Amino acid sequence: MSSQTVKAIPRRKTREEILELSAPLFARHGYDGVSMRDVAAAVGLTQAALYYHFSNKDQLYLDAVAYEFQEKEAALKAMLAGNGTPWERLERFVAGLARMMATDKDFLRLVQWVLLDTDEARQGTLAKQVFRDMFVAVHDLACELDPHRDAHLLAMSIFGLVIFHFQTGATRKFMPGHRPHQDDPAVLARHVCELLRRGLAAADGEAR
């Protein structure tokens, strides 16, 4: 009896696998720098098979961003909801966000591309469906830090102090006074909290 070689049947790519493989492409090249053909080639699918899962590039991009953020959002929200004073939770949150940006370059790049995207429809969708819950959690913490301040502006300041620090990393290292330890998430977290605490205290003193 002659033996026959059984050919392995390629396993069908799942939607989650497609998102996992396409997110780094958008992180490195941005929305405009990635085509459905690029994604299909990276994933190992025909374009027709890719369109079976995603009707267009907008849907793929939005879902890829959501996929990349969902796990990190869960971890960050847990830091905000844990034990401790509002300032302790803020320091824990800032250190966690800074650690993600310092260690996951694709995540940092994706954040940069998302912020640079000028398409208002995509920005609106991401704001409502991906970023809103995370922002609300920080907004609520801002209310605890100082109920008399504009919580929206305070929450935006918290995000801005962390994100801008890492967005400017390539340039900042050539600026006077730069030290490697300034990129340590714990160091940055203490700095941000001290800056905000002193600023809010000074503002309260002036108000009186």
Q: How far apart are CA 89 and CA 109, in angstroms?
A: 26
In the structure, what pLDDT confidence band is assigned to residue 8 with cuts at 50, 70 and 90? very low
Q: How far apart are CA 143 and CA 86, in angstroms?
A: 9
pLDDT value for 41:
95
Q: What is the pLDDT of residues 172-189, one digit of tens each?
A: 999 999 999 999 999 999
Reported pTM: 0.86
142: tokens are 């801002």
Q: What is the pLDDT of residues 61-71, one digit of tens each?
A: 999 999 999 98
DSSP string, 65-92: HHHHHHHHHHHHHHHHHSSS-HHHHHHH
In the structure, what pLDDT confidence band is assigned to residue 12 with cuts at 50, 70 and 90? low
Q: Domains along the chain? A: 68-207 (1.10.357.10)
Inter-residue contact 43 to 17 (CB < 8 Å): yes
Q: How far apart are CA 115 and CA 25, in angstroms?
A: 16
Q: How far apart are CA 135 and CA 147, in angstroms?
A: 17
**Which segment of 45-49, 72-76, 203-207 scores lowest on mean pLDDT?**
203-207
> CA–CA distance from 127 to each of 45, 66, 115, 130, 197 (Å)?
30, 11, 11, 6, 28
Burial of residue 24 (CB within 10 Å: 0-12, 13-18, 19+) is: middle
With 70 as the cut, is the pLDDT of residue 198 above it? Answer: yes
Q: What is the pLDDT of residues 28-44, one digit of tens each?
A: 999 999 999 999 999 99
In the structure, what pLDDT confidence band is assigned to residue 206 with cuts at 50, 70 and 90? low
Strands (E), 4-122: none
CA Rg, the chain, in Å?
21
With 70 as the cut, is the pLDDT of residue 158 above it? Answer: yes
Q: Percent of the chain having pLDDT more than 90?
A: 88
